[in-house]
Structure 1
Amino acid sequence: MSTTNLHQNTFFKSIIDMIDNLQTDDDCRMFLEEIRWNGEPECPHCGVKSEKHYRLNKENFKGLYKCRDCKKRFTITVGTMFESSHISLRKWFTAIYIFASHKKGISSVQLHKDLHITQKTAWYMLNRIRFNFNQEHVVVFDGEVQADETYIGGEARKKNNEHKNTQGRSLKIKTPVFGLISNGTVYTKVIPNAKGTTLKSIISARVLKGTTLVTDGWRGYKGLGEDYRHEIVEHSKGTYKRGRFHTNAIEGFWSILKRGLIGIYHFCSVKHLGKYCNEFSFRFNTRDMSDGQRFVEVLKIVETT
């Protein structure tokens, strides 16, 4: 398959297939233009989309356009995570393919070895990729929704040979994350605490009123019965399923998230935890896609940090 025959609906079968077809940076640029512009360049400065934008340096064209409307220059990378980057598009594409296809992610240490770049550069690339998985566009949930909160973090270092209040819901060294899941789609958000006001504000914004909402017996969920069909599964009493109601789906996602953070990344600061949650949510929500489809999906949503 030649690059000129690649189309935005082309899905690579594997990373080798992608590398074989996109052998140069120009190949990658043209593929990205097809994915994002569909043959009709769009000026990122004024938003005008036209096939008649000027192509600069026609004899040695490298994707530099001049807008017919606002007269500003632009390329396909302007306004994306690739902008102002000296890293080749081939390495960006390879990093994205690996990142999106590995169920639990890839560490910057491993990526720097795979791409023969510095660890600092690998971390920079991964951080920029994660930025694209913002979940604020997720639609309001309806149907049957499971809600739960979890705490990310480990035990504190011993002080005076003691551990104090570092288990369970302790906020001393752990950060709470709230999650909703329905029909195979998950939404997560890092929260300051698991108080009722915090949880209910997210639920009211993300879950359609009148929906069946399944939670455990945490006191922060009390009072939800006024706006929702609130089904409670009392985990504290050893009950994990009541009829057809349970919270196994959201707890299964927490398991994937924590295993990835511990096994691949080892540590995640509070500052960046939200991005890691978005990363795992994106892969979970696109789990029915092939790796090639997911790769194209990432290229469609790339934004600048």
Structure 2
Amino acid sequence: MAKYKSPEDFSSLFELMDYFKDEQTCLGYLAEQRWPDGIECPHCYHTKVYVLNGKVKRYKCGICRKQFTAKANTIFEDSKLPLRKWFAAIYLLLAHRKGISSYQLARDIKVTQKTAWFLAQRIRHAIKQGSFAKKLDGVVESDETFVGGKNKNRHADKKVKNNQGRSFKDKTPVLGLVQRGGELRAFVVPNTKMEVLVPIILANVEQGSKLMTDEWYSPINGYEHSIVMHSAKQYVNGDAHTNTLEGFWALLKRSIIGIYHKVSPKHLQRYVDEAVYRYNTKHLTDGHKALILLTIVNGSLKYKQLV
């Protein structure tokens, strides 16, 4: 492993594949990233661990006596797919600004479309598990968009003309929160009523922050509040606007329509998480934003949980 020293050095898929030349290299790197202070048993968390002999590097805990590899309790657990293909898939999914379809991913890493789809969903699961926990503060924009079929119960500025109230179940609302100059959060919600939105805002935005919304929001205790009148075609009111979120919504919808074509409400949150992660790591190299996911340990996603 002499040529590259850190994930920031990866600027192309070729470099990534050149570095991770075999399964042992991948497992070694995964172990280093996961346990920088020494191997720890993923079952009982003790550090009295032995390395076992064999083609694949395995460990045995000296306390609970269980055997494990660096893949234990990660998205790679129980997968027969080589880690090189996993690493390539993570890189490809995150390097493309609007994502990559399961059909294209299948061709790129030589697997079936079904395997590529499941693999991509596991990666999105890791993205969700590793979501940014820090609350937003300062100036924070809040807005919603609607993804899917025909509209109903949308705010006036978001209604499709000449549409007489198609069922709301055909359209899935998504709430977005973005800190000016900072990170973004987005959540699939059942509706856009204040009793649904307020708890999410309270959980993700520091008290005392300045909220920028449209006129459909009621004031929320603990926040300064500025509005723009979208229904009156007003999109900027001094420093009040939601243009940062509008730009993100446009990119999200281009991704869904242009790459994935159709996303069911059941899986929409994972695709939203993917877009949010890409937005929040846009300052990182493609290699760095991909390899961050290797350290996320929250268990794997099973196929039966998806279908």
- TM-score normalized with structure 2 length: 0.88
SS of the equivalent of 2:123 reads helix
The one of 65, 71, 76 equivalent to 1:77 is: 71
**Rounded Cα–Cα distance in structure 2 between residues aligned with 1:284 and 1:269:** 22
SS of the equivalent of 1:139 reads coil
Q: Which residue of 1 aligns with 2:282?
A: 287
* Matched letter for residue 179 of structure 1: G
1:56 paired with 2:52, answer: yes
SS of the equivalent of 1:250 reads helix
* Matched letter for residue 165 of structure 1: G
Do the aligned residues in 2 keep the contact of 1:64 with 1:74 (CA within 8 Å)?
yes
1:176 paired with 2:176, answer: no
The Cα offsets for residues 38-78 of structure 1, whole Å up to 9 and x where unpaired, read as 261121101123xx521112xx3521100122111110001
Alignment of 1:166-245 (within 5 A): 166=166, 171-182=168-179, 183-218=181-216, 221-224=217-220, 226-245=221-240
Deviation at 1:13, TM superposition (A): 2.4
Alignment of 1:102-121 (within 5 A): 102-121=96-115
How many residue pairs end up in the alignment?
Answer: 288
SS of the equivalent of 1:188 reads strand
Alignment of 1:7-156 (within 5 A): 7=5, 11-38=9-36, 40-49=38-47, 53-57=49-53, 60-134=54-128, 137-155=132-150
**Rounded Cα–Cα distance in structure 2 between residues aligned with 1:29 and 1:20:** 15
Q: Which residue of 2 aligns with 1:269?
A: 264
**Rounded Cα–Cα distance in structure 1 between residues aligned with 2:7 and 2:258:** 34
Do the aligned residues in 2 keep the contact of 1:53 with 1:65 (CA within 8 Å)?
yes
SS of the equivalent of 2:92 reads helix
SS of the equivalent of 2:14 reads helix
Farther off after superposition, 38-47 or 266-275: 38-47
Say if 1:180 and 1:128 are closer, same or farther in 2 by CA, change over 3 A: same
SS of the equivalent of 2:206 reads coil
* Matched letter for residue 217 of structure 1: E
**Rounded Cα–Cα distance in structure 1 between residues aligned with 2:142 and 2:30:** 38
Deviation at 1:10, TM superposition (A): 5.8
* Matched letter for residue 137 of structure 2: D
SS of the equivalent of 1:133 reads helix
Deviation at 1:204, TM superposition (A): 1.6
**Rounded Cα–Cα distance in structure 2 between residues aligned with 1:302 and 1:103:** 25
Do the aligned residues in 2 keep the contact of 1:96 with 1:129 (CA within 8 Å)?
yes
Deviation at 1:301, TM superposition (A): 1.9
Deviation at 1:163, TM superposition (A): 6.7
Say if 1:4 and 1:70 are closer, same or farther in 2 by CA, change over 3 A: farther
**Rounded Cα–Cα distance in structure 2 between residues aligned with 1:270 and 1:110:** 23
SS of the equivalent of 1:132 reads helix
The Cα offsets for residues 194-248 of structure 1, whole Å up to 9 and x where unpaired, read as 0011111111221122211000112xx1132x32111011111121111122110
Say if 1:202 and 1:179 are closer, same or farther in 2 by CA, change over 3 A: same
SS of the equivalent of 1:215 reads strand
Say if 1:302 and 1:102 are closer, same or farther in 2 by CA, change over 3 A: farther
- Unmatched segments (≥5 aa) in structure 2: 152-161, 302-307
Q: Which residue of 2 aligns with 1:159?
A: none
- Unmatched segments (≥5 aa) in structure 1: 157-161
Deviation at 1:154, TM superposition (A): 3.0
Do the aligned residues in 2 keep the contact of 1:6 with 1:31 (CA within 8 Å)?
no
Say if 1:144 and 1:202 are closer, same or farther in 2 by CA, change over 3 A: same
What percent of counterpart residues are identical? 43
SS of the equivalent of 1:130 reads helix
**Rounded Cα–Cα distance in structure 1 between residues aligned with 2:139 and 2:199:** 18
Q: Which residue of 1 aligns with 2:159?
A: none
